[in-house]
Structure 1
Amino acid sequence: MEPSPLTQVSRPDTFQPKIVQLYETLFREDDDEHDLSDGFWEEFFLLRPDAASLKQILSSIDSDEMLHLQAHSQQLFLRAILRMKQATAPADENALDTLTVFLDSALTKRYTNPSSDIIAVLAGLHDADAVMSDFVATLDTIIRNGRSLTLRLKAVRTTLSITAAGFQTALPSYFTHRDLFPSLMKYIQDCDDDTRVLPAFYLLGLLVNYNKFEFQNPYRLRLDDFVNDGIIQKMMASFGASCLAIRDAYVAVQEDMPEGWTLGSTLNYLSLGVLAPASRPTTPVPAPDEAKSLFAALPGPEIGVLLSTYDFANANKVFCFNLISMQPSSKGDTSPMSAFLSLTSYLFQHAHRSNRASQYTYLSLFILHILVEDQPLVKRLCSDDAKISVRLCRQRQPYLPLIRGDRNPGAVILDLMVDGINHNLRRRLDVDFYILCLGVLLRLMSYLSRAKVRIAYHWSELWRTLLSFFRFLTTYVDDVKSVYRSSTMVDLLVNLLAFALTKGENFLPDPASYDDLFYKLVETGDILAKFRDAFGLSNKSIQTLINVSSHYHTLLEDSEKGKLRSKILSPREVHTVIKQGYETLSIDAADGLDRWERFREADFKTFLKKIARAAVDDAKLLNEENKMIGLSAA
């Protein structure tokens, strides 16, 4: 029998997609042929990109090899721009997707001369200005008028990628030569989903911070007079959602809300737990070392959007008003201001875990300074008409009283400062952090005093915290005095307490609250005198505090019950003596204790440059992991 002419060919172990073959051809060293045919590029951009394979191929090429292959990388860049300009599906979208992966990888390699080497890889030194200007103009057109919102989002992501990857080079300067601000605002306005706003808002923060202290950044100027409430509110909604997502990552590590009353908890309390209904399963609590590691990795990279929020708040009062006034889209949701304050609370309790966490905590403090310094804004913050409910962090002791229900934001900010002071005490003190916290307290209290506004607040917690801070500083005086600007912090602390003592009747809710301040001061004993001697103080404020304390100690000792020493008097008896002592008390306080200088960005230039670099690194991480809200959906 003759053999059949049909023979079975063995199947290969794996099939290699055609696009991967084209990637390998493109990035294969070939000194004989630099130009690839039109047919190659036609097929290249018609095929769906394989991001994982392209990234793998590019990651195997080091910076020197990439420079050696620049003829082909330049062709890729030029051909992709051409396809995007032609605006024909699917080639234009495939070109954008390919460029995003290529830029993420090619621009983050360690080049000897980053600016010139990156330009060589993309466009060549001779044609750089023309090619890069054409590229930026093409992206600008797509962001503003692309044929679909998904395509426009991808153009935003590509711009974010190249800005972040080239932040320390001259590359982002091409985005300052051409103003993308109107297109980004048009894109945000057209967004049908708040999550798609985040990449554009994040990008804006990077563009504003590119060399902003070295030249007049055009994006920074754009923020000053932007008054479109609709677009601002879309940014705000996106910012609020991001704050909640970042905050919830902390909660996922350690649930910190006390359990409310339930039938099960009551039966357990009465030793009748066997009758309790089955409870829902709870998230396992991580071991201390594991929790420490998980907390150290937070906040997530989306936190970089805080930089955009700060820059807008620092430049634009309309933005600030929307931040403190915008209501949630539906009942039961969280407002942007509530989400921001809640996240800030968690940042404060974990700021010590990394330099990165500390830097973003500073950004939150800068924003709070800006808000409480503006008269109309702080008036709104302290108004009962602006009441909000805010979940505050309770992951570390000491705990503040748990307040359920709505409060005005001013009271919440007071709580944040108390928590910030209590949870960042260490011998090598972060003095600038404490100067900022005390500064926010001074600005809030000076407004309350001038306007004679009395807000509901557990003031005794604030006095206890400030006086505990006095004790801490006295104990570790040698460590603290060696830190730059510690004398500024000490003066601010003394003046703040002296101001509360002399002007408290203007803003404390009732006489009992004012009495409590004096009680706490008397209770401090000789700490104030030790504090004065330790830091070599001779100003009027510290003497005022010591004189008041001495006045009441004398009254207590001279009274009939005081003969037994004041420390065995009951709190009620001490309060009685305090009330009686007002008649003979003379407070000679210094003038201008409530004066303060407005927040000046230039004073924090070094901090802000570090924070900008942190936001750039987070933008890179978001691009690498494709985690940016709204991008994976695209």
Structure 2
Amino acid sequence: MEPSPLTQVSRPDSFQPKIVRLYETLFRDDGGDDDDDEIDLSEGFWEEFFLLRPDLAGLRRILAALGPDNILHSQAHTQQLFGHAIQRVRQARAPADEVALETLTIFLDGALSKRYTNPSSDILSVLAGLHDADAVLSDFVAALDTTIRSGRDLALRLKAVRAALSITAAAFHTGLPTYFTHRDLFPSLMKYIQDCDDSTHILPAFYLLGLLVNYNKFEFQNPYRLRLDDFVNDGIIQKMIVCFGETCATLRNAYVAVQDDQPEGWTLGSTLNYIGLGALAPGSRPTTPVPAADETKSLFAALPGPEIGVLLATYDFANANKLFCFNLVTLSPPKKGDPSPLSEFLSLTSYLFQHAHRSYRSSLYTHLSLFVVQILVEDQILVKRLCSDESKVSVRLCRQRQPYLPLVKGDRVVVSIILDIMIDGVNHNLRRRLDVDFYILCLGVLLRLLSYLSRAKTRITYHWSELWRTLLSFVRFLSTYTNDIRSIHRSPEMVDHLVNLLAFALSSGENFLPDPASYDDLFYKLVESGDTLTKFRDSFGLAGRIEVNSIQTLINVSSHYNSLLEGSDKGKTRSKNLSPREVSNVIKQGYDTLSIEPGDGLDRWEKFREANLKTPLKKVARAAIDDAKFLLEEK
């Protein structure tokens, strides 16, 4: 019997998409055969390349496996890829333009992030060749600009934004000239944001703006930075702020997903859970298992997510544009009953504060959030609103680490929430290798708020005793670890801030504290801390500095009352045996014989100046660039 001409071919384990074979042809390493690499790929190759559905994971995998020398060896082909992709984008015909933009985003990220020997010139060789670089890259920027501004639909325009974000991040990394500073992309980005209603699609454009504003902004007059100063389109500003608020909520929720810190009232279910019988609770459902301590630590260390880079753009707008700040403070939530963008920002800031020590990156963004808060509270019109009842909001504050502040339910004026966040910052970042810059910022915000409340004679409902307890606990911490702290840069400045803040509260508290009992409590806590204050003064050598007046005022008040307490009850009862009420009565009686130095000048502070923060802002910008890479990979 003749064998059948139809033979069954064994089925391959997996099918390779044809586009992946084209990628492999494009980046094939022929072992140094320069003649072969100079061969132009045919027009048919490129027609097929831009018609096939891209396999972005496959392209990323191929690029990741190549070293910088491999990429340079393939420059004839990479230049063709870049040039043909630009051509397809400019022609604006589907689906080739979409394929070109998606491919460019991955290609630019993968090829430009390699460690080249001569980064700037090597990258220009990969993209266009040194002789044609200016013309080709200018064409590329022009094509992106046109697509972002007036592409046929928002999906295509979003792809153009992502491609622009990819090459901008690469330019920061490598020193490649940013051609977006030669052609102003600002109007197109604003037009895109204006036309876009989805915050997740606004995010890349807002993020990109932050990178463009920070490109060498301390070395030359950055045109994007100048654009922020006079931008007055309320509608676009509000869209950016809504996007920022929703991004903050997403980032905060990632912390909650690791450890749910939402306080809950007593229920039968919670009680059964507490004693290990949660399965018996009515309507009980399986719960997500709590991660082990080591796993929790690593999960927290990976946060916040890469979207946090949009905080850089928010900072730059807040620093440059009063209308932006006004909208950030006053904008209502998109839906009634939802948190406002300001509420979500403050909530995220609270979580950043409790986890700032987890990583250097987290610390950088925590500082940046503090810059934004400082800018807001320095504006006398805005801080007045933040202290008024019309600013009342409810904010979810982090409760993932002890000590906990009192839980206050319902709406509160924003200033009371900011005070809570600053207290948490002081309490949860105490380490021998102290982040002194962070503490200077926190103490500075506290001083700005108290000085405003005092001048305006504004009294807010607040648990003031927690503030005094926190500040005096910080004094005790510094007194305990003096040798470690004194060696840290700017520690004398931090100590001065702390002493002056306490002295100011003591001399001016009657102007902003809600009742005599709150003022008495400050005196009571100073009396308790008398020995610590003296040790603090001597440990940091304050007796020989201008701040001697502030620390001596605190010590004198403590000594004054201690002498009264020692002599109370006709000398038969020592002060430590007196009840709090008896101590309070002695404090009230002692006002008549107490002399407090006037607090003139204690509430002076320098206005926020970006020029003083060049180094930390450059570090934040580099972190945002790295996060842009991860953001593009996620999407």
**TM-score interval (norm. to shorter):** over 0.9
Alignment correspondent of 1:558: 567
1:507-518 pair list within 5 angstroms: 507-518=512-523
Deviations 1:185-210 (A, max 9, x none): 10001002111100001111111111
- 1:162 and 1:172 in contact (8 A); partners too: no
- 1:133 and 1:174 in contact (8 A); partners too: yes
The unaligned stretches of length 5 or more in structure 2 are none
CA distance in 1, matches of 2:102, 2:599: 65
Q: Residue 572 of structure 2: SS of its match in structure 1?
A: helix
Change (3 A) 1:268 1:217: closer
- The CA deviation at 1:527 is 1.2
1:42 aligns with 2:47: yes
Alignment correspondent of 2:489: 484
Change (3 A) 1:346 1:3: closer
- The CA deviation at 1:306 is 0.9
1:340-355 pair list within 5 angstroms: 340-355=345-360
- 1:206 and 1:616 in contact (8 A); partners too: yes
Range 296-305 or range 125-134, more displaced: 296-305
Q: Residue 407 of structure 1: SS of its match in structure 2?
A: coil
Deviations 1:378-407 (A, max 9, x none): 111111101110111111111100111111
Q: Select the residue among 284, 296, 303 that pairs with 1:279.
A: 284
1:621 aligns with 2:630: yes
CA distance in 2, matches of 1:290, 1:268: 22
1:438 aligns with 2:443: yes
Deviations 1:460-494 (A, max 9, x none): 00000011111111111111111111111111111
Deviations 1:323-380 (A, max 9, x none): 1111111123121111111111111111111101110100011111101111011111
Alignment correspondent of 2:69: 64
- 1:455 and 1:507 in contact (8 A); partners too: yes
* Matched residue type, 2:50: F
- 1:540 and 1:590 in contact (8 A); partners too: no
CA distance in 2, matches of 1:298, 1:274: 32
1:421 aligns with 2:430: no
Range 64-73 or range 441-450, more displaced: 64-73
CA distance in 2, matches of 1:274, 1:143: 54
Give the share of equivalent positions with the same residue, in percent.
Answer: 76
1:309-324 pair list within 5 angstroms: 309-324=314-329
1:126-165 pair list within 5 angstroms: 126-165=131-170
Q: Select the residue among 101, 106, 125 that pairs with 2:130.
A: 125
CA distance in 1, matches of 2:301, 2:277: 41
- The CA deviation at 1:574 is 0.5
- 2:116 and 2:122 in contact (8 A); partners too: yes
- 1:20 and 1:54 in contact (8 A); partners too: yes
1:586 aligns with 2:591: no
- 2:448 and 2:605 in contact (8 A); partners too: yes
Q: Residue 530 of structure 2: SS of its match in structure 1?
A: coil
Q: Residue 560 of structure 1: SS of its match in structure 2?
A: helix
- 2:440 and 2:493 in contact (8 A); partners too: yes
Range 538-547 or range 455-464, more displaced: 538-547
Deviations 1:389-431 (A, max 9, x none): 0111111111100111111110000001100001111111111
CA distance in 2, matches of 1:175, 1:240: 27
- The CA deviation at 1:172 is 4.9
- 2:168 and 2:178 in contact (8 A); partners too: no
* Matched residue type, 2:21: Q
Change (3 A) 1:562 1:319: farther
Alignment correspondent of 1:449: 454
- 1:172 and 1:210 in contact (8 A); partners too: no
CA distance in 1, matches of 2:273, 2:229: 59
Q: Which of structures 1 and 2 has the larger relative contact order (alpha carbons within 8 angstroms, sep 6+)?
A: 1
* Matched residue type, 2:216: N
CA distance in 2, matches of 1:65, 1:350: 41
- 1:123 and 1:131 in contact (8 A); partners too: yes
Q: Select the residue among 328, 336, 340 that pairs with 2:333.
A: 328
- 2:206 and 2:313 in contact (8 A); partners too: yes
* Matched residue type, 1:41: W
CA distance in 2, matches of 1:271, 1:24: 57
CA distance in 2, matches of 1:388, 1:508: 21
The unaligned stretches of length 5 or more in structure 1 are 627-634
Change (3 A) 1:2 1:264: closer
* Matched residue type, 1:52: A
CA distance in 1, matches of 2:57, 2:536: 62
Change (3 A) 1:625 1:330: closer
Change (3 A) 1:563 1:495: farther
Deviations 1:238-277 (A, max 9, x none): 1111111111111111111222233544789999999852
1:300 aligns with 2:277: no
Range 221-230 or range 131-140, more displaced: 221-230
* Matched residue type, 1:560: D
Normalising to structure 1: TM-score of the pair? Answer: 0.95
* Matched residue type, 2:153: S
Change (3 A) 1:430 1:561: farther
1:163-562 pair list within 5 angstroms: 163-265=168-270, 277-538=282-543, 539-560=548-569
Change (3 A) 1:248 1:3: closer
CA distance in 2, matches of 1:255, 1:588: 48
Q: Residue 526 of structure 1: SS of its match in structure 2?
A: helix
Range 430-439 or range 12-21, more displaced: 12-21
CA distance in 1, matches of 2:287, 2:417: 29
Deviations 1:87-110 (A, max 9, x none): 111111111111111111111111
CA distance in 1, matches of 2:66, 2:370: 43
Deviations 1:424-472 (A, max 9, x none): 1111111111110000000000000000111111000000001111111
Range 315-324 or range 559-568, more displaced: 559-568
- The CA deviation at 1:8 is 3.2
- 1:561 and 1:569 in contact (8 A); partners too: no
CA distance in 2, matches of 1:462, 1:3: 93
Alignment correspondent of 1:629: none
RMSD between aligned alpha carbons? 1.9
- 2:171 and 2:178 in contact (8 A); partners too: no
- The CA deviation at 1:16 is 3.3
- The CA deviation at 1:562 is 5.1
Alignment correspondent of 2:619: 610
- The CA deviation at 1:282 is 2.7
Alignment correspondent of 2:105: 100
CA distance in 2, matches of 1:38, 1:273: 67
